[in-house]
A = this chain, B = another copy of it.
Amino acid sequence: MATLNDIAARLGISKSTVSKGLSNASDVSEDLRKKIMEVAAEMGYSGRRTQKRLCVLVENMGYTEPNQFGYELIAGFTQMASAEGWVVDAVPYTKERQVHETYRDFMARGGYQGAFLLGFSLVDPWMQGEFQTVQIPTVLYDNRIPENPFMASIGCDCRGGMEAAVRHLYGQGHRRIGLLFSALDSYIVKERYNAFFSAMEKCGLEVDQDLIGLGYYVAETTRKYLPKFVERGATAILCSDDSRALAAYTECCDRRLRVPEDVSIIGFDDLPISAYMNPPLTTIRQNRLALGKCGYYALSCLLNGVDIDSILLRAPLVVRGSTGPAGAQREAS
């Protein structure tokens, strides 16, 4: 198959000029563009513009290692998309770049027909601006833009998961439950936060504002709040994600608090490592491989003109060793 270099050599021009000509750039004359197109067609060039291409855009989420949250999301998505002939690129993208490039330009530049977006927060420039109206089929994981019919959502039913977690703790006698959460600048953290309140209400438990700790930085927030929670009588702590639960283990270790005898801990996500923590972490599971597959399904709906709004998976509670009866401490000592 002919390459850009082959076309450039034949025409005696640079590769970048060929590329510009093929992508309709304005700084290539109409005559030269036509010549480039003709030679490309004659030489059988089939560039990225003729491929079916999708993009997974990742903002602030690890995805290159199997233990990172995004890994299986992308694997599931790519597995389904590849089976239907799509080429998928995973592209990390920062908040800063969003200021300098529009989403539309980014997608056009890559020749992408649709995108699956991971990890964007509510304060991201594209989230606040372009996503409200842009007409590019896009699936958001754990985000929602209800105003724009080109944007579908996928995620887990965090209400069901949170309710199962609070009921589990309630059944083990816990009444004072602390909340160790990430900052409320993301759609999904807010959802989980609200889910906690409604789960507590369903169990007839009161939320004590002194048992709520929010913050962006994992270790700092944990260090600041966990000891206070225990001092104020919390016997269990619910975390917004498994990383925070891991930090809580460390903090407990430093303070000579035993998990779960002194304090029960529940995470959210079920990262691969969570089953191997000591003790193994009780957590609310997100089936990331299935979520990635559903992400592709939702995108293929949008690409085929089906107005999909959202797909939710269940988020089951996986009970392991980090939760136990409240008051086990006193009995043990």
Contact = CB atoms under 8 A, between A and B. Distances in A.
A97 B12 CA distance: 80
A160 interface: yes
B313 A287 contact: no
Interface in A130-163: 146, 149, 156-157, 160
22 contacts: A149-B314, A149-B316, A157-B310, A160-B309, A287-B307, A290-B306, A290-B307, A290-B308, A293-B306, A294-B306, A297-B297, A307-B313, A307-B314, A307-B316, A308-B312, A308-B314, A309-B312, A309-B313, A310-B310, A310-B311, A310-B312, A311-B311
Please list the 8 inter-chain residue pairs (A to B) with the smallest Cβ-Cβ separation, ordered nearest first: A307-B314, A309-B312, A290-B306, A157-B309, A309-B314, A310-B312, A311-B311, A307-B313
Interface of A: 146, 149, 156-157, 160, 287, 290, 293-294, 297, 301, 306-314, 316
Contacts of A149: 314, 316
Contacts of A294: 301, 306, 308
Contacts of A146: 157, 160
A303 to B, nearest CB: 13
Contacts of A306: 287, 290, 293-294, 313
Contacts of A287: 306-307
